[in-house]
Amino acid sequence: MTPKPDWVPGSVDITVPHAARIYDYALGGDHHFEVDREFWERAKKLMPSAELLARANRAYLGRVVRWLAGAGVDQFLDIGSGIPTIGNVHAVAQEANPEARVMYVDIDPIAVEQSRSLLRGDPRAGVIEGDLRRPESILFHPEVLELLDFGRPVAVLTVAVWHFVPDAAQPAEIVATIGDALVRGSYLALSHLGPDPTPEGRAEQARAVRLYESTPTPVTVRSADEVAALFGAAFEILGPGVAAVTDWFPDPEDADDPPAPSALAAVGRRR
């Protein structure tokens, strides 16, 4: 059996692929294992657009953080933040506003440990281990409450994470719980895997989704209407509504990037 590297927490099973490490590999990161790499290569064969979707989601994250900072937000709660890689939220937010505060949350201990290493010495950024399916454990975590002031607007980022929350976990109720903790003028930003617009693409997507059923994080594909329904009554979905990530206020220099119609994005403002 291959020994664990020093940076791997003892509780982590490196024989099972994990979404955070798979995504890290897809984005060109360094914190993944053979099982994650093999899984991603299999997924790409089943769904050739998978790599484009991963990179389009990451580009959207940077754009939405800059957009929110431009709207005056200086507090960010990034749930499902993953393993640190290029364009981290605190780097983007603090470039726009050096006083910006960012709390990262991930369910994967490797993501948490690597984030702690990255954030060491930054008093305006922190990380905790947490599960989106138990939002109260995040929203009322002492470290979260110490860093973020929920008496002022907070932007909650949930990028490429909701499709790992099955219907049985009642995602709309999770969003409602998050909304209850936020003051008016706060935001919820998300991206989500949606159905491919072509029959061929949907067939490829279905095969890739079945592959994820063998991991601890199976995938649920939701339509644009289903994604919109997640926001419930607490959030007003802002323009351009639920759109492809590549169509959500694209940067002019990205105008020639390939479209990613099955990666959906939206931002809601707390009413």
Query: Who has greater pLDDT, 94 or 2?
Result: 94
- Give the pTM: 0.91
- Domains of the chain in start order, with CATH, are 19-270 (3.40.50.150)
Per-residue exposure over 102-118, b if at least 16 CB sit within 10 Å of its own CB, e if not: bbbbbbbbbbbbbbeeb
In terms of Cβ atoms closer than 10 Å to its own Cβ (0-12, 13-18, 19+), residue 146 is exposed
CB neighbour list of residue 94: distance below 8 Å, 6 or more residues apart:
100, 102, 124, 125
Given this model, what pLDDT does residue 11 score? 67
User: pLDDT tens digits for 22-31?
Assistant: 988 988 888 8
Given this model, what pLDDT does residue 5 score? 67
Tell me how many helices (H) and strands (E) the chain has: 10, 8
Given this model, what pLDDT does residue 7 score? 62
User: pLDDT tens digits for 144-176?
Assistant: 999 999 999 999 999 999 999 999 999 999 999
User: pLDDT tens digits for 59-82?
Assistant: 999 999 999 999 999 999 999 998
